[in-house]
Structure 1
Amino acid sequence: MTLSVQWLTVVMMLLSGLGMGAVFDGYRVVSHELRFPRWWLPVLDIVYWMAAAVVVFRVLYASNNGEVRAYVFLGLAIGVILYYWVLSRLVILLSKWLIGAVRSLIAFLLKLVDFLLIKPILALYRLVIVILGFGSALTIFLLKIVIQLVRPFGLLLRWMLGPVTRPLGRWLTPYWQSMRIAERIGKLIPAFVQRWKSWLRRK
Structure 2
Amino acid sequence: MTLNVQFLTLWFMFVSGMGLGMLYDAFRVVFVQLRLPRWTFPLADVVYWITATVCVFGTLVHSNQGQVRFFVFVGLIIGLLVYMMTLSRTVRKVIAALIRAVKWLLRFFKRTFTLLFIKPAIGLYKLAWVLLGFLTALAMFLFRVVVQLVYPVWKLLLWLTRPLYKHLRVPARVLRWLNFLKQLFQKWFRKGK
How does the TM-score come out when normalised to structure 2?
0.81
Q: Which residue does the alignment assign to 2:16?
A: 16
> How far apart, CA to CA, are the structure 1 residues paired with 2:106 and 2:9?
42
Q: Which residue does the alignment assign to 1:150?
A: 150
1:147 is aligned with what amino acid? V
Q: Which residue does the alignment assign to 1:78?
A: 78
- Which moved further from structure 2: 12-21 or 58-67? 58-67
- Which moved further from structure 2: 154-163 or 70-79? 154-163
Q: Which residue does the alignment assign to 1:125?
A: 125
> How far apart, CA to CA, are the structure 2 residues paired with 1:126 and 1:40?
44
Q: Which residue does the alignment assign to 1:28?
A: 28
The two structures, once aligned, show a CA RMSD in angstroms of 2.2
CA offset digits 1:136-182 (Å, max 9, x no partner): 1111111111111111111112222334556779xx7xxxxxxxxxx
> How far apart, CA to CA, are the structure 2 residues paired with 1:141 and 1:101?
58
Q: Where does the alignment leave 5 or more consecutive residues of structure 1 unmatched?
A: 173-203
> How far apart, CA to CA, are the structure 2 residues paired with 1:130 and 1:46?
58
1:52 is aligned with what amino acid? A
Q: Which residue does the alignment assign to 2:45?
A: 45
> How far apart, CA to CA, are the structure 2 residues paired with 1:124 and 1:39?
44
SS at match of 1:76: helix
Structure-to-structure mapping, 1:1-203, within 5 angstroms? 1-165=1-165
> How far apart, CA to CA, are the structure 2 residues paired with 1:27 and 1:163?
99
Segments ≥4 residues shifted beyond 4 Å: 164-169
Same amino acid, percent of matched pairs: 46
1:67 to partner: Cα distance? 1.6
> How far apart, CA to CA, are the structure 1 residues paired with 2:58 and 2:34?
31
> How far apart, CA to CA, are the structure 1 residues paired with 2:53 and 2:142?
83
CA offset digits 1:40-83 (Å, max 9, x no partner): 21222122112211211111111111122211111100000011
1:89 to partner: Cα distance? 0.8
> How far apart, CA to CA, are the structure 1 residues paired with 2:132 and 2:104?
40
1:88 to partner: Cα distance? 0.9
> How far apart, CA to CA, are the structure 2 residues paired with 1:116 and 1:43?
39
Q: Where does the alignment leave 5 or more consecutive residues of structure 2 unmatched?
A: 173-193
> How far apart, CA to CA, are the structure 1 residues paired with 2:100 and 2:145?
65
How does the TM-score come out when normalised to structure 1?
0.77
> How far apart, CA to CA, are the structure 2 residues paired with 1:66 and 1:53?
12
2:60 is aligned with what amino acid? L
2:49 is aligned with what amino acid? W
CA offset digits 1:114-134 (Å, max 9, x no partner): 111112222222222222222
- How many residues get paired? 173
